[in-house]
Amino acid sequence: MKILLTVLFFSLSAFAQDAMLLSSNVQGAQYPQMTPDRRVTFRLRAADATKVQVRVELPKSVTLDMTKGDNGYWLVTTAPLPPGFWYYSVIVDGFTTLDPASKTYFGYGRECSGIEISGPDSIAAAALDVPHGTLRDVWYYSPSTKVWRRAKVYTPPGYEKQNNARFPVLYLQHGAGENETSWSNQGRETFIMDNLYSVRPEVRQMIIVNDNGIVPARNPAPATGGGRGSGRAMADNLFAEFGEILTTELIPYIDKNFRTIPDRDHRAFAGLSMGGAQAFRLGLAHLDTFAYLGAFSAAIGNLDLAKDYDGKLADPTTSQRLKLLWMGVGKQDSLHDGLLGVHQSLEKAGVKHVWVESEGGHVWGEWRGYLSQFASLLFQDTPAPKKR
Amino acid sequence: MKILLTVLFFSLSAFAQDAMLLSSNVQGAQYPQMTPDRRVTFRLRAADATKVQVRVELPKSVTLDMTKGDNGYWLVTTAPLPPGFWYYSVIVDGFTTLDPASKTYFGYGRECSGIEISGPDSIAAAALDVPHGTLRDVWYYSPSTKVWRRAKVYTPPGYEKQNNARFPVLYLQHGAGENETSWSNQGRETFIMDNLYSVRPEVRQMIIVNDNGIVPARNPAPATGGGRGSGRAMADNLFAEFGEILTTELIPYIDKNFRTIPDRDHRAFAGLSMGGAQAFRLGLAHLDTFAYLGAFSAAIGNLDLAKDYDGKLADPTTSQRLKLLWMGVGKQDSLHDGLLGVHQSLEKAGVKHVWVESEGGHVWGEWRGYLSQFASLLFQDTPAPKKR
């Protein structure tokens, strides 16, 4: 009992006045801590290390040296941080890795640490006292790649209650280095939608499906090395191979196993960054499948409307067929100027679209906001199922 | 292109002949690799470190020194490993953390790395070409702790197809340092059940619910330190507080939102290690709620049947009321002898129960096997819903 009390006292004394734990901490972790003015203190134990740093992926990445304290602990406190979700890494004597005190989020092609900094954006994405939908892991077989694949499926609060009602579907994709877990984990997609339905009942309840847009090279596979090879092979993977999975395997699975409205007028496709490039290319290639397209900070550059996407954007029937072509990007995003150029080309050519410029960068805080905005515009001509 | 080919060649040359990637690696990671005789090579980059180790939590924990190679990479290859799931950590200059190449698994009170070593046990837990159930994240409000809580709910393959059928429910709990994600992540509960139903159609399809058995002290909360304080407070937390959540909040939520058969004859409660202690104590305290109890490597020591659990085990009506009291433990488990003592006491007192001794230790490989065995015995007097 004496030892226990000592530990307790140390623990108490280590806390700054009014410090808060973060919701992104693992259960029981005493760090990271945040002050009311949003300064974050990181702590880790590396008794024999000579250099320890924390790198926080703010709109501009920041690397801070940690200072060695007692008992092998290293500490550092940031300047006040902007609200939002920020990936971070710790770097111990040249080893870039995770902070064991943080929940993990798949990003940058590996599991990452993250800090959720409360602010106006986070409230929209918090688990509030409203009706909640559910998130499912579903497994479906992919004949084209001969593996079982996992997708994440969010069904809205009304789905279980109204068990004869059918729902439209948004297919929503992550960015490069992320996967099918990213929209629910770091994107907080389920809470954003739950809160949106609660505050704005006119928003149409929809199913949201997240899949992995980077088709793995047979996984687990003989380790013959090499990865995906050339840029050409990478493009085939992101567009041709994923396009085949999406349109011939995933969508039929979802339409078979969920109460969807299985036609183009009740299907949207959107994605962020790399997923935005997929939304443009695959969406325009499959106008029979999707009537709504969304590109969040899309990784596309200047377009030649006459040539790119088989000239689909220059074809006036495209504008007639698409119920919504939505583009958003932050002013601090390095992709901003290229996307502004795309917007201007579309405007000049008379291609109907929605253009949103937000204040931030290439970060999850922006994409959370875009989801609310984009989803609010979807399926508005489809009557909601009657409440029972 | 030249740089790309160089990287490719290095990558090829680094692979041992016939090496396999592990399914526990993150997408795209080239290590850990496994040889056909199940030797695992770990690799990480820590250019400026002086001592780098890997600790693998085999039934007996093994720590291996890594050797510095070219370009700041450290490598080590294990002896042949037993099949199963093994947690591991990397230790870089005294910093115990995760390998960024591994998927993460919540264990030991933090996110951990893990290796999935193929073998007979893993086949039963693999994603095979059989009908798959789905796993849901559900959120429910807990009035007693004033937070929204997440539970994981597995519905069997028949649940969606037979949409008027009702199903019995197994409440299945994790061990200390784990949480509601552990049975589906490291336990591979969903695949075990999918495969079991496919091979043995006489096993009754059931819903499985995993909740967090360690009630968090208001999370996120003012960081006033202190944790859970005394052993008494810890016990209150694990038993009284979790028991209240389970019986008055979680079960009513599940019965309201899923097609359950909402009575004691169609409810089972089981857990591993700490969760096994919860199954004994809470199960015996709530015989009106549960008719089946399972304790997997339960963290309980010698029992005084007359006194412990309010004498419930010594009461002959308990045996009459329980349809199944199931206990399993591995011969290499440090809890084995204590549990053998419990089994002997129960036998001596004529308390009807099933006692299973397996060969392994206090590890997930055993618990996966126990789930199959235990689930096969549940709800056998309840007719399965008719196929449509």
Q: Which of B22, B179, B225 sits opposite A12 (nearest CB)?
A: B225
Q: Which of B26, B141, B220 sits opposite A129 (nearest CB)?
A: B141
Query: How far apart (Å, rounded) are the C-alpha atoms in residues A24 and A59?
Result: 19
Q: What is the pTM of this model?
A: 0.89
Residue B239 backbone phi and psi in degrees, to 5? -110, -65
A230·B111 Cβ contact <8 A: no
Residue B362 structure tokens: 């206090």
Residues B300/B339, Cβ–Cβ less than 8 Å: yes
Q: Which of A96, A134, A227 sits opposite B28 (nearest CB)?
A: A227
Residue A150: name the closest of B188, B319, B351 by CA: B188
Query: B136: Cβ–Cβ under 8 A, 6 or more apart, which residues?
Result: A134, A135, A136, A137, B152, B153, B154, B155
- How far CA B84 is from CA of A327, B271, B369, in Å, comes to 47, 19, 11
The residue with tokens 């906001």 is A369
Identify the pLDDT of residue A124: 81
pLDDT band at A1 (very low <50, low <70, confident <90, very high): very low
Which stretch of DSSP H or E encloses residue B253?
Answer: helix B251-257
Query: How far apart (Å, rounded) are the C-alpha atoms in residues A170 and A156?
Result: 12
Mean per-residue pLDDT, A7-12: 34
Q: Which of B21, B48, B220 sits opposite A21 (nearest CB)?
A: B220
Query: How far apart (Å, rounded) are the C-alpha atoms in residues B278 and B300?
Result: 9
B111·A102 Cβ contact <8 A: yes
Instruction: Give B88's contacts in chain A (Cβ within 8 Å).
Output: none
pLDDT band at B18 (very low <50, low <70, confident <90, very high): confident
Q: Compute the radius of gyration of chain A from its Cα atoms.
A: 23
Mean per-residue pLDDT, A192-216: 94
**What is the 8-class DSSP label of residue A238?**
I
Instruction: Give B136's contacts in chain A (Cβ within 8 Å).
Output: 134-137
Q: Is A38 left (phi over 0), alpha (psi -120 to 50) or beta?
A: left
Residues A203/A376, Cβ–Cβ less than 8 Å: yes
Query: How far apart (Å, rounded) are the C-alpha atoms in residues A282 and A252?
Result: 16
Mean per-residue pLDDT, B91-107: 96
A226·B12 Cβ contact <8 A: yes
pLDDT tens figures, B361-371: 999 999 999 99
Identify the pLDDT of residue B248: 98
Identify the pLDDT of residue B257: 94
Residue B4 scores a pLDDT above 50: no
A219–chain B Cβ distance below 8 A for any pair: yes
Query: How far apart (Å, rounded) are the C-alpha atoms in residues A98 and B113?
Result: 11
More confident residue, A302 or A336: A336
Identify the pLDDT of residue B236: 78
Q: Which chain A residue has its CA at the smallest distance from B158's CA?
A: A257
Q: Which of residues 62-81 of A touch B (CB under 8 A)?
A: 72
Domains annotated for chain B, with CATH where assigned, are 18-118 (2.60.40.10), 124-218+233-376 (3.40.50.1820)
A178–chain B Cβ distance below 8 A for any pair: no
Residues A379/A168, Cβ–Cβ less than 8 Å: yes
Q: Which of B111, B129, B163 sits opposite A103 (nearest CB)?
A: B111
Query: How far apart (Å, rounded) are the C-alpha atoms in residues A57 and A64?
Result: 11
The residue with tokens 């002050």 is A35
Nearest CA of chain A to the CA of B295: how many Å?
A: 24
Residue B224 scores a pLDDT above 90: no
Mean per-residue pLDDT, A143-169: 92
Interface mutation target, options A44, A91, A95, chain B, most CBs of B under 10 Å: A95
Mean per-residue pLDDT, A288-307: 94
B21·A95 Cβ contact <8 A: no
Q: Which of B27, B33, B212 sits opposite A179 (nearest CB)?
A: B27
Query: How far apart (Å, rounded) are the C-alpha atoms in residues A370 and A74?
Result: 38
pLDDT tens figures, B319-335: 999 999 999 999 999 99
Mean per-residue pLDDT, B107-132: 87
A160·B257 Cβ contact <8 A: yes
Nearest CA of chain A to the CA of B326: how many Å?
A: 30
B20–chain A Cβ distance below 8 A for any pair: yes
pLDDT tens figures, B34-50: 999 999 999 999 999 99
For the purposes of burial, counting CB atoms within 10 Å of the CB of A70, is it exposed (0-12), middle (13-18) or buried (19 or more)? Answer: exposed
Instruction: Give A14's contacts in chain B (Cβ within 8 Å).
Output: 225
- How far CA A217 is from CA of A228, A236, A306, in Å, comes to 7, 12, 34
Residues A38/A56, Cβ–Cβ less than 8 Å: no
- How far CA B190 is from CA of A7, A49, A248, B358, in Å, comes to 39, 41, 25, 22
Residues B223/A24, Cβ–Cβ less than 8 Å: no
AA letter at A343: H
Helix (H, G, I), strand (E, B) or coil at B248: helix
The residue with tokens 């090829």 is B12
Mean per-residue pLDDT, B125-132: 88
Cα angle B68-A93-B11, degrees, rounded to a multiple of 5: 45
Q: Which of A15, A92, A212 sits opposite B224 (nearest CB)?
A: A15
B234–chain A Cβ distance below 8 A for any pair: no
Nearest CA of chain A to the CA of B11: how many Å?
A: 5
**DSSP H helical ranges for chain A:** 2-14, 120-124, 157-161, 189-199, 231-235, 242-245, 251-257, 274-285, 316-321, 336-348, 364-376
Query: How far apart (Å, rounded) are the C-alpha atoms in residues B27 and B15?
Result: 17
pLDDT band at B232 (very low <50, low <70, confident <90, very high): low
Residue B214: name the closest of B187, B257, B261, B246 by CA: B246
Residue A228 scores a pLDDT above 90: no
Q: What is the DSSP string of B139-200?
A: EEEETTTTEEEEEEEEE-HHHHHSTT--B-EEEEE--TT--TTHHHHTS-HHHHHHHHHHH-
- Average pLDDT along chain B: 89
- How far CA A284 is from CA of A14, A38, A268, in Å, comes to 56, 43, 12
Residue B363: name the closest of B59, B1, B108, B138 by CA: B59
Identify the pLDDT of residue B225: 40
A·B CB contacts under 8 A: 230
B239–chain A Cβ distance below 8 A for any pair: no
Nearest CA of chain B to the CA of A365: how many Å?
A: 20
B11–chain A Cβ distance below 8 A for any pair: yes
Instruction: Give B45's contacts in chain A (Cβ within 8 Å).
Output: 94-96
Largest CA distance in chain A: 79
Mean per-residue pLDDT, B110-125: 85
Residue A152 structure tokens: 């994440």
Identify the pLDDT of residue B181: 97
Identify the pLDDT of residue A237: 86
B100–chain A Cβ distance below 8 A for any pair: yes
How many residues can be counted in chain A? 388
pLDDT tens figures, B249-303: 999 999 999 999 999 999 999 999 999 999 999 999 999 999 999 999 999 988 9
Q: Which of B18, B136, B160 sits opposite A257 (nearest CB)?
A: B160
Mean per-residue pLDDT, B110-127: 85
Identify the pLDDT of residue A120: 66
